[in-house]
Each structure stands twice: as C-alpha cells, then as structure tokens.
Structure 1
Amino acid sequence: MEQTSPLKPNRRDKTEDKYRIAATIAFIVVIVGIGVPMWWKTTTVYRVNLPSSAIQSLSDQPIKTAVEVAIYTQQPSRAQLLITELQNAFSDSDIWNVEFKQLVPFAKAAEAHTPAALEKLLLQAHPQSVGDFIFIEWPRLEDELLLTTERSALMRSDVTSNKLAQLLHSKILQTYRINQILSTDERLGAKSEAPQPAYDVVISVLNPKPRLTHAQWNVALAAQTYIEPFLAQISDISNYTVRTQWKYRVAIEAEVKQVRDQSKLGRHYALQESALPHLLTSIAQNLSASITDKPVINLVVYIAPCSTAPMHIYNSKNEMLTRDGVDAFISPPWGGFIIANPPERVCLAHVNNEPPLAFYVNTNDNMQVMLDQLHKLLDISNEVQMAGVKTVDIEQLAPRRWEYESYMRRSAIRHIATASNTLQSLVKLLDQISYIVIDDKVATAITNSYVDILAAKAALLEHRLLDASALAKRAFVASERGFFDASLLAQLYFPDEQKYAIYIPLFLPVMVPVLSSFNMLRKLLQRKRKEKQQ
C-alpha cells in the first residue's frame, strides 16, 4: 500500500487551501476594497470649492471712487488756479480719484441775470452724470458758498481753494464718514449698519382717549401725498412699503409735570427728555401691525389728551425743546415720535366740562416733520455746519440731489465693505471647520457676491455710480444670503471626531476576521514557499 509523505500535502489539502485563499481574498476585497471606500464616501461632507484665496485678498484691493467736479469762473485764469490747487489737495487721497474740469466762459453765459439761468445754460452745454458736482462763480453772493438743491454750489469771487476742498470733503464727498466705514479702528466711533434691501415704514396714530379726544385725520391719504413720493425718489438703495394704522387706548407710560404759563389754559405739561426711551418701550409692543421679516421704521403721531395737553419736551436744564411749534424726537433705528397737541379751543371745552369738540390733525406740519425724521433715520441728511456756507432749504418732496447722491455713494461703499467682511469671515470659518456643508446654493451666493464686489469696485472707479450702487447692493444681499443659509448648520453637530467615535466600534468587530484572514493567508503563503524550496 502506498504511503503519503508527511512533508507533501495530499491533493485534497491543496484544493482546500486554494478555496481558503480565494475566500480570504474575496473577503478582504469586499471589506477593504469596497466597504471602507463606500463608508468613507457616504460619510464625506459635500463641499463645493470656493475662491477662498481671492476672497481673502479683497482687502488688498482698496475701494476708490471717481468723481468729476467742474468749476466755472468769469476769469479762466482764476478757474485754472483753483483747479491746480484742488488737484494738489486731493493728489494723496486713498479713496478719491477727483477729476477737476474747467468750464470755459461763453457768450450766452454773460447774458444770464440770475444764478438759476446761468446754471441752466452751463448744464445744457456740459451735461452732468450721477455723482458729479459743479461750482459756479456768482460775484453778487452774500455768503462765500451757497449749496443748491441740485448738483451745484454758487461761490463768491473771493472764495479760496481751501474752502472748496473743505466743502467737498465735509458735505459733498463726506470723507469723514467714508473713513469710518473703511477703518477697522473702533475708536473712530460706532458704524451704522448697511442699508437693508427692503423696509416697512409704519405710520401709527395713537389716540389714548378716543371718547374725549375726537381727532380726525386721513392719515392714509397724507402718507400717499407726502411719504410715498419721497420714498419713491430714494428707492435706488432700498424698497419701502408704507402702511398706516390707528391705535386707540395706547397711553404713554411716562410722568409729566404741570407747568404754569400765560396761555388761556394757564398751564402745560413737561415731558422730560430722559424719559423718552421708556416712553418708546411702553408703546413699542402695541405698534406691530403684522409679522414681517423686514426692518421696520416707526413714525408715531401721539395725540395728547386734554388732561395732559399741551405737552412739551424739556431737557435736563429745564429748557423747552419745542422747535417751530413742534415737539418731536427720533431714536435711530427705531423711528420717530411726534406729539400732536389738540387746539387750545378743544382743551378749553374739556376744562369747562363742555361736550368734546372734533378737530383735524394738521397734515402739513406733521408730514413735514416726518420727512425730516426720515432724512435723519435713513442717514441721508448732512448736519455738518460750515462758516460762510449756506444751504438752500428744500422746497420739494425729493431730497437735495447732491445730498442723496452722497448717500448713494456712501451706501455703495458700505455695501461693498460689509459684503467683503462677511465673505472673508465666512470663508475663514469654512476653512477652519471642515465638516460644514457647502452646497451649490451657498457656493453660488458666495461666488456671485465676490464677482459683484469686484464689478462694483470697478464701476466706482469708472465713474458709474448707479451701476456701482446696484452691484454693491446685490453683492451685499448675496453675501447675507450665503452667510445665514440654514444648510451651513446641517452637519455642524456631526464633526469628524464624532464620526470616528460612532463608526469605529461598529467596524472594529468586522475587521477582526479580516485581520485573522490576513494572518491565515500569510501562513499559507509561507508554507507554499517552503514546499517549493523542498
């Protein structure tokens, strides 16, 4: 009988080894080659590539604005001298690229007998673009400079270039405000927020005692006549929705003090200036007409009841703050407050226990105050005072042209700066936290904002203020949309450490047979190598 050598495995053992090796390799391929990559792929956070380095370098590209300033004088040599001195004054500016242009006198200009006629002739010969400005010499001028409601200022023959440069910096270009926007130094003062794309303007009329105070006013018609046309003139920056409402039995929670006077009523009531913030707090919760996600500007008209009327505001020095018969104040960005005191005859009837008299709220007075409040709340008006400089009063609903375009220029720069800071903060955060999802929507918003920022900067430098304003606003909206997108928080609670902590205990038992198979495969290969050697 034939015996098998112990050093040579029989045919059956060889067949089993082949199957064992094939099974081991298949097991390893399935677990390591397919399972682990599939697990890694399915647990990988989706992140779209962003132009991170380009966004971080946005601060390296300064925001510079081109402005054209024309000068007209009766003596060409004087205009050339002023331009030379002004060019030297603005030559080292980091934010302004001012182009000074001389307007040569012509025959028709000598025939103009009024400043308005001269300005009309000059603008017909030299049309202006948005953001331009012109100085027109008018010898018979009382003040050194007279700012009109358009893009112009009249100047006296003896005005200096230093005065013109001071006017340009402080009122037309508002350099100090631009420096506040662009500076990172907190000591320069608090910065106002960038204008939002949309606002709700809510006009509220408060009548705390309607049974005793029969006030009548078509506030909706007043808003359509005064407020809506004004807001339509400034809709390049933001969209406004105007709503009106009456609120009854809403009293102010503030102490008033009776003060004796020489009126027929013999008294009035003093509302201390220090109590005004508490007054707003007491009525704010009763003013919301509906739930809205847009910022709200409140314009409140409070009809004081005769029991505490007339009511006037006093400061800490016990001085009455009534101006032109109006008691009002603003609290940015909340809104404005106006005290509408009933006529004296109405309160006399109340004191004499006579039946209540109906009266109409003065539309013109209150609407003019509201327009002035909107100028300040929206940061359009310029309150800087200069010696020898006078500004023409506004006689139309639209704001002064130069004042609004300064606001437009300032808003564009603020939108660009805010959008740049938002994108840089967001990109820095996304680079630091690798498990935040960056989906296509967020990536598109960030990329579009970055592209619009570059385009807005180019438009400012190319003297296209309207285009720059629209692009900057769009960049700001896109940056806010990307920064506050809810998808950024989708997996913020599931960092990589937690992923490993959860899946390692799950896969570790599965990997034990894999490691054992590796060990078995190693032994089989070693045995085969020995057999070949023998």
Structure 2
Amino acid sequence: METASTSPFKLRHKDKAEDRYRIGATVAFIVVIIGIGVPMWWHTTTVYRVDLPSSDILSLSERPIKTAVQVAIFTQQPSRGQLLISELQSAFSDSEIWAVEFKQLSPTERTVQEAHTPAALEKLLLKEYPQSMGDFMFIEWPKLQEELLLTTERSALMRSDTSSNKIAQLLHAKILQTYRINQILSTDDRMGIKSEAPQPTYEVIVSVLNPKPRLTHAQWNIALAVKTYIEPWLAQVSGVSNYTVRTQWKYRVAIEAEVKQVRDQSRLGRHYALQESALPHLLTSIAQNLSASTTDKPAINLVVYIPPCHTAPLHIYNSKDQLLTRNGVDAFISPPWGGFIIANPPERVCLAAINDEPPVPYHVSTTDNMQVMLDQLHKLLDISSELHIDGVKVVDIEQLEPRRWEYEAYLRRSAIRHISTASSTLQSLIKLLDQISYIVIDDEVGAAITNSYTDILAAKAALLEHRLGDASALAKRAFVASERGFFDASLLAQLYFPDEQKYAIYIPLFLPIMVPVLSSFNMLRGVLQARRKQKSA
C-alpha cells in the first residue's frame, strides 16, 4: 500500500508564490492610497491663491505722496520778484508733501503798453504763459485795494506791498489746502474727522415737496431748471465722479417737526419758526417718503419744500432764537445726505388762502432756488473753500462752472485721498489674507489687487511729475479696483470652513482606510523579516 506524501520543496515554492502575490497586492494598495489618493486629496483641498505683491503693498506707506506744483510770480520790478521767490522757496523747502517750483515773470513791452487794467494784464499773461492743470500765478497790480484778490482762473492779483508770508499763507490755505491734505495723510485721530473718498458714481435726486397741492398751486418746470443749471454744472466737475440726475414731485408729504408761530409786521402778521435742533428729525421724516434709488449708487438729495399757507412763511431759528435766514433764503445741508431748501409761497398766495379766496397759482423762482442748490452742491461735494484770510478777497462767481483753482484743488485733494484710501484698503486686505490662510484669492481678485497697486504707483509718479489730470484718473481707478478686490464675494467662499472643520470632516473619512494600510505595512514587514531569516539560515 502506497502512502501519498508532499515534497517540502514544493511547499516552500508554493509559499513563496503566495507571498509574492501578497506583497504585490500590498504594495499596489499602498501606492494607490499614498501615491495617488493622498496627493489628490491634498490638491483638491488646497485653497487657490494667486501670487500677490504682498511685501510691496505693505511698504506703500513708506513711500510718501508728494505733489509738484508750479507757481509763477509777475512783478513790475524784477528785483522784487526775485526776493519774493527766494523767500517762498525757503518757506516751502522743508515741505514733505509739496514740491513747489517758483517761476519769475518779468514785464515786457507788451504788458506795459497793452495792460491798462488788471483784467487785461491777467488775460495777457495767461495767454503768453500757458498754464498746466494745477498751476497758479500771482500778478502784481499796484493800485489794488486788497492785499490779494483771488480770481476765478488760476491767478491772483497782489498789491505792491504784499509780503511773501501772505502769499505763502494763501497758497497753503486756499490753493494747495495743506491743512486738508494733512488731515487725509495723518494717522492721528486727533486731526479731526476725515471725510470719505469721493465715490466713482453718484445719483443726484432733486425733489419738490408740496404737501397741499390743492391749496398751494405751485408751478415749476423742475426738469427744465435742472437741465439748465444742475446738469451743466455737474458736467464741469465730473473729473472725479460721474453723476446721474433725476427729478420728482412729491405731494402730501408733511414734515414732522414742531413749528412755533411768531408775530411780525408783515401783511400776514405772523410767520413760523422751525428750530435748528429739529432739522435732523425733519430729514428723517421726509427721507422715508422719498423714493429710494433703484441702483446701488450713493444718492445726493436736493429737496425744495413748499410749506402750506397755514405754516408759511417758515423760517429757521437757532437755539438763541436768532433768525438764520440769509439773503431771503432758508436752507441747510446735511452731508452726505444732501440739502434742504424752504421755498415759501408769496404773501399774496397765503393772503388769498386766509381770506378763503380761490387758490392763486404762482411760479416758483428758478433762479433763486437753483443758485442755492449749486451752492449746496459746492459744499456737499467738498469743492468750495470757506476759509477766510484777512486781506484776501475772492471774486464772486459769475459763470456757471466753479472757480478753476478751486476745482483743481478739489482734483488734487481727491487724488491724494483716493491714493491714501486705496493704499490703506490694500494693506488691510493683505494683512487679513495673511492671518486667515483659507480665504480664496481667485484670478479676478488678484488682478484687482495687482492693478490697484500698479495704479497707485503710477498716480504717485504723476503727482510728482506735475500731471494732475493723469494722477486724478489713475488714483480713481486704483480706488475702484481696491474696493472691488476688498469687497469681492469670492473672499467669503471658504471663510466659514476653516482648517479645524476640514480635519473634523476628513479624519473620520480617512481613518478607516488607513487601518488596512497600516495592517498591510505590518504584514509586509513580517514577510520581509521571514525571508531575511530564511536567507540567513
């Protein structure tokens, strides 16, 4: 009887074949998990971030904003002009924000023979010596009453005894507006409240409020008045912001403010007092009745209120019961909301109403109200310069557009404010992105930040190279790009999905998978050790 037996050699050969398959399967499993799965997981969970010039942006504050300005001085005696320029150069030599170049203009045969009036001399000089945007010129005229007379152009007339200190004072206070620039550039909160940077677009809403249209038949083509006065004026100041204008009539909108009757010597025998302290409540009561803008543009409201005859005429009083009516106008502004004008009906209209006579139609004065609105826009847009200097007189505006030197000071100030605001916005954004590593920075946000940084540098260079128009456009573009980058919605995509939550989600997912991986490592180590022992035996 034969007995079946298995050869030890065959068993060892079979064990080696099985070990080879087990090792191959284990290695393949480890390669798939660690070589493919982990990199894929790492790539899909990595936050996408565009490279940014972070260090350069953070160092923007180390590069000061300096503006070049050219000031020409015309005197009858060249020696006096040289002395003034020497003293003015010393006064501005230590300035950190101004690079003022003083240029002397000497009298010529033409200026002596043809310039018989200050206006003729100014016109001749401005024609012979063309000016760039932001330049200024002082013209000496011996018989001038004031020390300095500011014109509506880029010039000022000065008396023969005007000192360099007075000229420097005018340059700092009116032309360059150094105190406002210092407020913009200062990081000290004690310098005062800083106004916001001008927005790229505004919507100007002109509203006429007539609470009692059946009793007060006020007639006014407000659309034509706005088209004649407001729109051309806004077109002249559109270098910083763009404006869209719309008009509306509002009826049955009463002001929610307490008024007090005051006896007087008029034909009506009384008028009504509106306290200055009640003006904020008045604006609150009518703001909700004004139709809101359908766009996201900031709005400037210009309101003309026609009080009904039972509370007319209506005048504004201060806390000391002093009448605040100026030149027959009762108006006030509330930046940045807008302006308010009280257009009282004529006496004859209210006399007819008191005597129960039929309502008397009348026309609202376009000239009076539009002039007040233009003055309010000057102040609301921060164009006008209200600072008073002893010995300095400013020529009244006779044209529709603002004074040239005043508007160019506004351009310069807006450019510096846009540069400063854009720089602060970018630096805040870079610091935020460095602190929170899981905020996504996509290509659009990265392009906005980079473009803003590039335009800031270009705007600074344009200011220093005496190119005010280019600097204003570049600074505005830098400001818009910085705002777009800072408030982009994509920055919030993973803001509420930090690394801690990521680990909390992925650890329960990957831990069961890693257990067999670790077991396979242990099995592979055991097989390799067994083979090593066999070889050594």
TM-score range, shorter chain: over 0.9
Q: State whether residues 416 and 475 of structure 1, in contact with CA within 8 Å, keep that contact through their aligned partners in structure 2.
A: yes
**Is the CA contact (8 Å cut-off) linking 1:245 and 1:289 kept in structure 2?**
no
Question: CA–CA distance in 2 between the matches of 1:286 and 1:36?
Answer: 61
Is residue 203–residue 298 contact of structure 1 (8 Å, CA) maintained in 2? Answer: yes
Structure-to-structure mapping, 1:379-528, within 5 angstroms: 379-528=382-531
Relative to structure 1, the CA distance from residue 3 to residue 95 in structure 2 (aligned partners, 3 Å threshold; closer, same or farther) is same
User: Which one of 16, 27, 30 corresponds to residue 29 of structure 2?
Assistant: 27
Q: Does 2:17 correspond to 1:15?
A: yes
Q: 2:209 aligns to what?
A: 206
Residue 95 of structure 1 corresponds to which residue in structure 2?
Answer: 97
Determine the C-alpha separation between the residues in 2 that align with 1:288 and 1:368: 25
Q: Partners in 2 of 1:441 and 1:319 — Cα distance?
A: 57
Whole-angstrom distance in 2 between the partners of 1:133 and 1:186: 32
Is the contact between residue 293 and residue 299 of structure 2 (CA under 8 Å) also seen in structure 1? no
**Which position in structure 1 is the counterpart of 2:153?**
150
| Structure 1 CA distance for aligned equivalents of residues 291 and 477 of structure 2 | 29
Among residues 96, 103, 115, which one is paired with 2:118 in the alignment? 115
Unmatched segments (≥5 aa) in structure 2: none
Aligned to 2:308: 305
Distance 1:110 1:141 in 2: 17
Give, in angstroms, the shift of residue 481 of structure 1: 0.4
What amino acid does structure 1 have at the position aligned with 2:230?
I
Q: How does 1:178-189 map to 2 (within 5 A)?
A: 178-189=181-192
- Write the mapping of 1:159-174 to structure 2, written as runs, cut at 5 A: 159-174=162-177
- Deviation of 1:10 after TM superposition, in Å, equals 1.5
1:159-203 deviation digits (Å, cap 9, x = unpaired):
000000000000000000000000000001100000000000000
Structure 1 pair 290–181 and aligned structure 2 pair: CA distance change class (3 A): closer
Q: What's the CA shift for 1:2?
A: 7.0
Residue in structure 2 matching 1:269, options 272, 286, 311: 272
Q: Which residue number in structure 2 is paired with residue 257 of structure 1?
A: 260
**Matching of residue 127 in structure 1 with residue 130 in structure 2:** yes
Give, in whole Å, the separation in 1 of the partners of 2:5 and 2:302: 114
In 2, distance between residues paired with 1:58 and 1:93? Answer: 20
By how many angstroms is 1:4 displaced?
Answer: 5.2
Structure 1: unaligned runs, 5 residues or longer: none
Alpha-carbon displacement from aligned partner over 1:183-231 (angstroms, at most 9, x marks no partner): 0000011000000000000000000000100000000000000000000
Out of 528, 532, 535, the position equivalent to 1:532 is: 535
Query: Quick one: distance in 2 between partners of 1:260 and 1:126?
Result: 60
1:67 maps to a residue whose letter is: V
Select between 402-411 and 35-44 the one with higher mean Cα deviation. 35-44
Which digits, 9 at most, give the CA deviation of each residue in 1:356-398, with x for residues without a partner?
A: 1000000000000000000000000000000000000001110
1:401 CA displacement: 0.3
SS state of the match for residue 59, structure 2?
helix
Q: Give the aligned residue type for 1:185.
A: D
* Equivalent-residue separation in structure 2 for 1:2 and 1:318 (angstroms): 127
The answer to whether the aligner puts 1:366 opposite 2:369 as a matched pair is: yes
> Which of 341, 350, 353 is the equivalent residue of 1:350?
353
Q: Residue 44 of structure 1 corresponds to which residue in structure 2?
A: 46
1:5 Cα deviation after fit = 5.7
Q: Which residue identity lines up with residue 446 of structure 1 in the other structure?
A: I
Does structure 1 residue 63 correspond to structure 2 residue 65? yes
The secondary structure found in structure 2 opposite 1:451 is: helix
Over residues 437-468 of structure 1, what are the superposed CA-to-partner deviations in whole Å (9 max), with x where a residue is unaligned? 00000000000000000000000000000000
Summarize deviations over 1:467-512 as a string: whole Å, max 9, x none.
Answer: 0000000000000000000000011111111111100111000100
Q: Offset of 1:292 from its aligned partner?
A: 1.6
Matched to 1:468, the amino acid is A
Distance in 1 between residues matched to 2:532 and 2:292, nearest whole Å = 89
Tell me, yes or no, if the aligned pair for 2:439 and 2:494 is still in contact at 8 Å: yes
Q: What TM-score comes out, normalization by structure 1 length?
A: 0.99
| Identity across the alignment (%) | 80
Q: Distance in 1 between matches of 2:223 and 2:383?
A: 24
Conserved 8 A contact 2:73-2:139: yes
What is the CA-CA distance between 1:288 and the residue it aligns to? 2.1
Equivalent residue of 1:10, what SS?
helix
Counterpart code for 1:56: L
Equivalents in 2 of 1:168, 1:25: separation in Å?
Answer: 82
Shift of 1:290: 3.7
2:106 maps to which of 99, 104, 107: 104
- Give the C-alpha shift of residue 124 in structure 1: 1.8
TM-score scaled by structure 2? 0.98
Q: Count matched residues.
A: 533
C-alpha distance in 2 between matches for 1:473 and 1:282: 35
Question: Is the contact between residue 452 and residue 475 of structure 1 (CA under 8 Å) also seen in structure 2?
Answer: yes
Deviations 1:12-40, CA, capped at 9 Å, x for gaps: 11100000000000000011111111011
- Measured in 2, the distance between the counterparts of 1:504 and 1:351 equals 85
Corresponding letter in the other structure for 1:518 = F
The residue correspondences of 1:212-291 to structure 2 (distance < 5 A) are 212-288=215-291, 290-291=293-294
Distance 1:314 1:393 in 2: 27
